[in-house]
């Protein structure tokens, strides 16, 4: 509030200075040189009085202009009715200045020396020129003030738009995190149940294999707990998770699913949202058959554009399952919060592929 009042006062002072200096510059341009010389060769007292009168007149003109602007800003917006606002602004400014000039003229007549000769037609014409210049200065002040007002509005709207975008981004991030947490809980339930069931079978058949299965199960579950809240992790960490996860899937499903991973070390420092591979692999396992005589093949490659390509041939299940699409949607939502690059989904009759951009 204090800053606003200070800015208003500073703006008023600048407008008064502009009008005061502009009035003399305009006079120099309009009036002939002999008239100017005769005007400024008067006694110093009269010259000081003339300057003081001009300053008071400029203050009144600026105050009037700002009053008209503020009054119209409260009642007629430039945004909704610009032409009506422009017409009223010009009419009120001109009317106000004419009234102000008439008042000054009447005061001049009241306090005029009776012995002084009335103004000649030439001086009257010069007075008209000066009046036109005053009107021009008034409209210039109004234009500057309007520009100042519209610039302030634009800055306010820009800040509001930025705050809205930030708030929307925060809301999207919160929703994405909540959704990821819900997915994690859902995956946890299936993950723990399926793997504990597989573990109990393996322990009965082969204790050493059961021990290895337990180790990999621990690695995967620790990864889920530690990284589920991180925005990005190195691709190398996700690949380590994938090795343990493949071990679990292989001994849970058997030969019904095969993985082909082709990722060199050059991309290990690139970043990826955590759990991306798990969500895509679970999506593939959910919507395709996993039979030993016709196994589901999942290919994971790093292309030249630093994109992770996860593809699988389509083996439709006999009984279609309802799909919420939460996994893919969550991945896309998280990428929308991270930058411009977005995952690309390509689907043909026989192949389903997702391209995941890797970030620096």
CATH (residue range 206-357):
3.30.565
Given a contact cutoff of 8 angstroms between Cβ atoms, the answer to whether 89 and 142 are in contact is yes
In the chain, where does the domain assigned CATH 3.30.565 lie? 206-357
Mean pLDDT of 172-181: 66
pLDDT digits (tens, 9 = 90+) for 304-358: 888 999 999 999 887 655 555 567 887 887 788 777 789 999 999 899 999 999 9
- Chain center to CA of 185: 33
Predicted confidence (pLDDT) at residue 283 exceeds the cutoff of 90: no
What is the structure's pLDDT at 2? Answer: 46
Given a contact cutoff of 8 angstroms between Cβ atoms, the answer to whether 227 and 240 are in contact is no
The residues pairing with 297 across neighbouring beta strands, listed in sequence order, are 258
- How many percent of the chain have pLDDT more than 90? 11
The number of residues making up the chain comes to 360
Give the range with max mean pLDDT: 35-39, 227-231, 246-250.
246-250
> Alpha-carbon distance 334 to 325, whole Å?
14
pLDDT digits (tens, 9 = 90+) for 68-99: 877 887 887 777 777 787 788 778 877 877 77
Least confident of 23-37, 80-94, 142-156: 23-37
Q: What is the DSSP string of 59-98?
A: HHHHHHHHHHHHHHHHHS-TTT-HHHHHHHHHHHHHHHHH
Q: CA dihedral defined by 23, 136, 131, 102, rounded to 10 degrees?
A: -100
Given a contact cutoff of 8 angstroms between Cβ atoms, the answer to whether 333 and 174 are in contact is no
Going by DSSP bridges, is the β-strand pair 296-302/257-262 parallel, antiparallel, or unpaired?
Answer: parallel
Task: Report the largest interatomic distance among the alpha carbons of the chain, rounded to a whole angstrom.
Answer: 130
Task: Look at 230 and 356; give whichever has higher pLDDT.
Answer: 356
């Amino acid at each position: 509030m204090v800053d606003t009042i200070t800015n208003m006062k500073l703006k008023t002072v600048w407008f008064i200075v502009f009008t005061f200096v502009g009035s003399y510059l305009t006079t120099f341009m309009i009036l002939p040189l002999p008239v100017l010389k005769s005007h400024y060769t008067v006694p110093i007292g009269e010259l000081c009085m003339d300057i003081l009168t001009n300053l008071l007149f400029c203050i009144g003109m600026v105050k009037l202009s700002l009053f008209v602007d503020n009054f119209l800003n409260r009642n007629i917006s430039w945004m909704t009715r610009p032409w009506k606002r422009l017409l009223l602004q010009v009419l009120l400014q001109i009317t106000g200045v004419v009234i102000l000039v008439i008042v000054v003229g009447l005061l001049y007549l009241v306090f005029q020396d009776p012995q002084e000769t009335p103004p000649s037609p030439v001086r009257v014409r010069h007075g008209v020129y000066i009046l036109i210049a005053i009107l021009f200065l008034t409209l210039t002040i109004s234009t500057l003030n309007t520009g100042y007002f519209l610039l302030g509005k634009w800055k306010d709207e820009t800040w509001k738009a930025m705050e809205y975008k930030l708030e929307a981004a925060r809301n999207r991030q919160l929703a994405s995190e909540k959704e990821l947490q819900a997915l994690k809980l859902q995956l946890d339930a299936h993950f723990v149940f399926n793997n504990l069931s597989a573990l109990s079978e393996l322990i009965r058949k082969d204790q050493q294999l059961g021990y290895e299965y337990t180790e990999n199960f621990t690695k995967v579950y620790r990864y889920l707990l530690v990284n589920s809240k991180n925005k990005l992790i190195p691709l190398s960490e996700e690949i380590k998770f994938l090795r343990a996860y493949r071990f679990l899937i292989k001994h849970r499903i058997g030969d019904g699913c095969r993985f082909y991973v082709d990722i060199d070390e050059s991309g290990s420092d690139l970043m990826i949202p955590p759990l991306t591979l798990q969500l895509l692999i679970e999506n593939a396992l959910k919507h395709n058959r996993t039979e030993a005589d016709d196994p589901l093949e999942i290919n994971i490659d790093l292309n030249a554009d630093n994109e992770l390509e996860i593809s699988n041939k389509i083996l439709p299940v006999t009984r279609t399952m309802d799909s919420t699409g939460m996994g893919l949607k969550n991945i896309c939502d998280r990428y929308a919060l991270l930058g411009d690059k977005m995952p690309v989904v390509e689907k043909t009759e026989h192949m389903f592929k997702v391209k995941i951009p890797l970030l620096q």
